[in-house]
Each structure stands twice: as structure tokens, then as C-alpha cells.
């Protein structure tokens, strides 16, 4: 069955939580120590969609992956940069779901007026590094021993992708996703 991509809604929170919770409880990929509840994820989706896209990949009506953007940093001069994340259900990994989600997410971010995307990856994580680098991310540094999870200190590597060439003139502020989506 083909995979379809669409904008997430808060009603997707239970399926998103089912994908994300094992990453929290069984890996060091997420630095959360307790999985967020369905209600908390519904709130995260709603809050994210005010300014950034949150996409889901579906197969036969079941969510098999998701990707979203968030602010890179709080200071106003960072507003043209985003952090991005992608999570794929175990049985759908290495089937192009993450790539499809990211490709669509990046296209939407460019339409909004963003220039740089950043991804933090708990190390080691060769599959995630491979996905990001295959999509044009380049390594820019490592935060050493930045998180303590599963009984050990963990490093986070950072990767950067240029979404579009930087403007020479002062760029217009990015358009909020909610505003852009209403025009599509």
C-alpha cells in the first residue's frame, strides 16, 4: 500500500505517541526520560502547527512516521533557522518514509521563508546520520557528554542543511505555518 503524507492534527496524537514512546523508553535517541502522554502530544502538535509544519506519513490509515520543525533558538536573529525531527515506526524504517517526510517538510519550510535546518542526533546513531547526510546535512559539531540517559553520559552531534541560499538583503520574517496553510 502506498504511503501518503499529510498535515498532522491533534487527533493523531495517540498514533504519534505509539511511535515515539519506544524511542523514549528503549533508546537514547530521545533525551526525554518519560514518554509524553497522548494529551501532551496533542498539545505539542497544536502548538507546533501555529508556526511550523508537522507532517505524518500514513499507510492504510495508520500513521507510520512523522516529522516536524521547531525554533532553533529563542533570540530573534535566529528566526530564519529551524530544528527538525523525524521518527519512523520500526517496521517502516529504511523504506523511504523518513526521506519522504523530510523532503516535504523542507519544501514547506522554504515556502515559509526559512534558510537553515539543524538536526541534533544522539551518538552513536549511524542510521540517522546516514539519512541526514543523504539529504544534504553536514556535520557541524558535537556536544560532548551533554545528556545523561540509560546510565551513561551521551553525546549529541549537530548537522546543518541549507534550505535556500542566504539573502543578501534583510530577509522578510518567516511566515507562520498557520497563515501560509490558510493560503494553500
Does a structural domain hold residue 172?
no
pTM of structure: 0.95
Does a structural domain hold residue 171?
no
CATH number at residue 95: 3.40.630.30
Q: What is the mean pLDDT of residues 108-119?
A: 97
Q: Provide the greatest CA pair distance for the chain.
A: 48
Among 150, 140, 127, 121, smallest CA distance to 25 is for 150
Where does residue 94 fall: left (phi above 0), alpha (psi -120 to 50 degrees), or beta otherwise?
A: left
Q: Where are the alpha helices (DSSP H) in the chain?
A: 13-26, 38-49, 97-112, 126-134, 177-183
Does a structural domain hold residue 83?
yes
Does a structural domain hold residue 22?
yes
What is the domain count for the chain?
1
Grid coordinates of 14: 495517540
Among 6, 34, 22, 183, smallest CA distance to 100 is for 6
Q: What is the dihedral of CA 112, 115, 133, 30, to 10 degrees?
A: -70
Does a structural domain hold residue 179?
no
Confidence of residue 183 (pLDDT cuts 50, 70, 90): confident
Domain that holds residue 47: 3-166
pLDDT digits (tens, 9 = 90+) for 71-104: 999 999 999 999 999 999 998 898 899 999 999 9
pLDDT digits (tens, 9 = 90+) for 30-63: 999 999 999 999 999 999 999 999 999 999 999 9
Alpha-carbon distance of 140 to 153, in angstroms, equals 20
- At 122 the pLDDT is 97
Amino acid at each position: 500500500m502506498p504511503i501518503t503524507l499529510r498535515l498532522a492534527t491533534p487527533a493523531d496524537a495517540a498514533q504519534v505517541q505509539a511511535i515515539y514512546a519506544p524511542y523514549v523508553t528503549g533508546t537514547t535517541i530521545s533525551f526525554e526520560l518519560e514518554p509524553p502522554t497522548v494529551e501532551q502530544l496533542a498539545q505539542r502538535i497544536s502548538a507546533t502547527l501555529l508556526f511550523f509544519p508537522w507532517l505524518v506519513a500514513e499507510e492504510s490509515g495508520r500513521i507510520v512516521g512523522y516529522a516536524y520543525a521547531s525554533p532553533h533558538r529563542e533570540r530573534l536573529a535566529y528566526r530564519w533557522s529551524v530544528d527538525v525531527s523525524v521518527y519512523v515506526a520500526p517496521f517502516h524504517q529504511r523504506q523511504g518514509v523518513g526521506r519522504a517526510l523530510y523532503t516535504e517538510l523542507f519544501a514547506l519550510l522554504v515556502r515559509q521563508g526559512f534558510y537553515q535546518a539543524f538536526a541534533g542526533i544522539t551518538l552513536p546513531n549511524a542510521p540517522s546520520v546516514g539519512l541526514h547526510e543523504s539529504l544534504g546535512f553536514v556535520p557541524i559539531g558535537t556536544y560532548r557528554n551533554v545528556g545523561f540517559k540509560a546510565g551513561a553520559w551521551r553525546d549529541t552531534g549537530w548537522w546543518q542543511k541549507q534550505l535556500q541560499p542566504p539573502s543578501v538583503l534583510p530577509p522578510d520574517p518567516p511566515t507562520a505555518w498557520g497563515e501560509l496553510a490558510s493560503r494553500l
